[in-house]
Each structure stands twice: as structure tokens, then as C-alpha cells.
Chains A and B, each alone.
Chain A
């Protein structure tokens, strides 16, 4: 492409009106050519004004939750998502009265086997539903599947804190687990969860000595599955619980927990 040919395309280039091949040809020219190309920036400066021709419209309120949920999923496990609490030594095991000291050793295989089966079902369901959609949705499904695999690995890792979660009341039938590996970046996985009523959202809690600290609000997927990642329990957490709270979440639970599980350290 000659310099003049590239300049002829400046307007179309800044309006995104070229095919990938055409645009690549212009990009290649811009990288290689030492002549003046100020026109690209000059015309590109007009596009923000064109955008103002579109009348602003409030997006549906549920879109924000979707965006934030996608953010959490996208940022999830690969990085140390949440700063570890300062000077947190080792998380202590759950009280003996709830889980006998030896229990972790014999319960562990059961947990792992059960959760692996749940995860496998979830992966099939999630991928099965979403794979028929657009590439974007397939990406989401892949991320979900990756998260599930990481969640199962987190649960099976020695020294992880694990809670098996059971639903009651309106969440009767919900099952899942929370797993917090020593390396940080914990997960919660729930399945068969009914959609939150309108205006309500599920919110997780870490219960330490009877006091609740928020683990964040979480969205239920289309198949009744919920996957939270990048989670970090409070030091000394005995119980992981979920309540239904008004959209946006609460500082403290405003209703009785409908999903609970005791946290114990696996061996």
C-alpha cells in the first residue's frame, strides 16, 4: 500500500469501516512509513463527537450485575485476586465439637469423589448449554469449566479448608462446597440453586464465633449453578453461609441463612 492509498483510507479507518485485511494493510503501512500521518489522528478526534449523537439510555439494571460477575469470573483464579489478610497465621480447623479431629482424614475421599462428580455434571451442563451460543458465550463456558476444575483442585489440595454446603428452606436441594486452599484464592460452587427472587440476591458470609462477615454477593447462573472465585475467608471462620439479601447486598445478614456448611481443614 502506498502512502497516498493509506491516507485515502484514513476516514474509513477511524470509523472502523474496513475489513480486517484492509485494516491490517493500513496498520502495516503506518508501522513502516516515515511520512506524516497526522490526518488519522485528526479525523479520529471527531469520532468521540459522533458518539454523542447517540442518545444516552440507562442500561437495564441487571446488566451491571452481569458485568461485575463477568469481571469476577474473568479475573478469578489465575491471579491472587484478593489480598491475603495481614499476618494471618494458619487458619485453624473447625471446632472439635463440629468435626472430630480425625474426621478430615476419612471424609476427604468422600468429599473429593462427591465434588468431582458434581463438577463433572456442572461442566457438562454449562458447556452443553453455552457451547451452542456465540463464541463469547463459549468463552464464558470455558472459563466456568476452568474455574470448576480449579475449585475441585483447591478442595483436594492438602491443607485446604473445605465446607460442604447444604441448602434449606427456599434453597432446599441446593448442594455444593466451598474450598479455600492455603495458597489463597478460594472457591464456592453451588448447584440446584433456585433463582433469587426479584430484587434479591444471594450473599455469602463467613461466620467467625457467631459474627458474620460478607463474602460478597453472587449471581446464580441460568442452570441454577453459582461459582465464586478469588474468595478469602476471615481468619477463624467456622461456617460458610448464604442468605438472600436485597439487591446490592447487606452489611449484615437480614434473614436466616438458607445454605450453610462447617469449615474444616483437610489433611
Chain B
């Protein structure tokens, strides 16, 4: 965020605080009210994502709780991530849920050291879509992918499988897993960008 020319400061006491303001308050120190508001705003999408990945209410709750722990412990790092708060919260939730799923499959735990996945919190190159993403549009775009690409992406993102595990599950070479995921994500990106470009009157 540029700090040039911002002489108008949002008054957080009168207007509802933005997500980014709430994260800044968490970064500044103990602020239970800020956490409470963030929780109320995001518990639904975070819990839904965690349930989709863990398929277990208790594990999903653990994932959401761990995700919030990651949020308050890393709030000072949030600004560096340059992504929207929603993207950041969901990527942490995803990481924690995948980690929990993998802990139950001892083969490939995620590293504990990094709460925040660098690439997932990389510049939000696509904030319009990330924020306004219509679930139906995303579902259509995913449905339009070749089956093999969709399967690989879903096994990775929702199944928590590593590339090696996907290769074993689908019985394809590692190189094929890599290319399917890469091509599938690139196609999704193109498909989801199109409506934004056309923008009918």
C-alpha cells in the first residue's frame, strides 16, 4: 500500500473497520474486539473450506482455530503479503487444514516453521476476481477443465495430496502431475478473467 497522498484517514470509530484495519489492530497488540469482528466475518468461509478439506467437524474446528492463531501471530507480516485479507485468511486456513489432514497420514506433514505460505500470499494479482468471485462462475470454469486436470487440482487443493501421492493415486508419472496442475490452473485463470474483461453493459 502506498503511503503517498493519503491524507484522509478512515475513521474506524464511526465506520465499520475494514478487514485490513482489523488486521493492523491485531498487529499492534492485544485487541480482542478486532479478532472478534474478523472471526464473525470469516468463520463461515473458513469453516466451510476446512470442512471441505478435512471432512470432519472436529478437525475443521481445529483447523479454523489454528488458522486464527496463525492470523494473530503473523498479523505483523500481513502487510508484506500484499494480498486481500480474505485471500490471506483463506490461504492460512487452507494450509492449516491440509496440515491437519496430512498429520493423519504421516507420510508428508507440512513444515511447522512457516504459518504463511509465501506463494499463496504473493501479490494479489487478481483482486477483482478473488474478492467478487462468484462461486457459480468458478464452478463452471472448473467443470470446463479437462477431467484429468480437474482431478489433479482437486486432489491437491482439497485432498491435501502431494505430487507423489497424486501420481500414485492416479497412476501417472510425476511429470504429468506437474503439467496437469500447471495447465489446469492457467486455464482457470484465463476462464475467470474473461468475464471481467467483457463486462456487459
Contacts and interface: CB of A to CB of B under 8 A. Distances in A.
Contacts of B135: 52-53, 55
A152 B20 CA distance: 38
Interface stretch (A72-80, A96-104, A200-208): A72-80
A12 B125 contact: no
Interface in A31-55: 39-55
Nearest to A24: B111
A223 interface: no
Nearest to A45: B126
Q: How large is the interface on B (under 10, 10 to 19, 20 to 34, 35 or more residues)?
A: 35 or more
Interface stretch (A63-71, A110-118, A186-194): A63-71
A57 B175 contact: no
A15 B186 contact: no
Nearest to B43: A59
Interface in A15-36: 15-20, 22-24, 27, 30
Contact of A17 (B64, B181, B184): B181
Nearest to B142: A53
Contact of B72 (A15, A24, A74, A134): A74
A64 B182 contact: no
B24 interface: no
Interface string B47-59: 1110111000100
Given A50-B153, A51-B94, A22 B163 contact: yes
A14 B153 CA distance: 11
A82 B30 contact: yes
B17 interface: no
A32 to B, nearest CB: 14
Given A67-B64, A68-B32, 13 more contacts: A8-B182, A15-B185, A17-B161, A22-B162, A30-B118, A45-B126, A46-B188, A48-B129, A50-B142, A51-B49, A54-B158, A58-B43, A68-B35
15 contacts: A11-B153, A11-B183, A17-B181, A40-B122, A42-B189, A47-B91, A47-B94, A48-B87, A48-B133, A50-B188, A51-B49, A59-B44, A60-B61, A68-B39, A134-B103
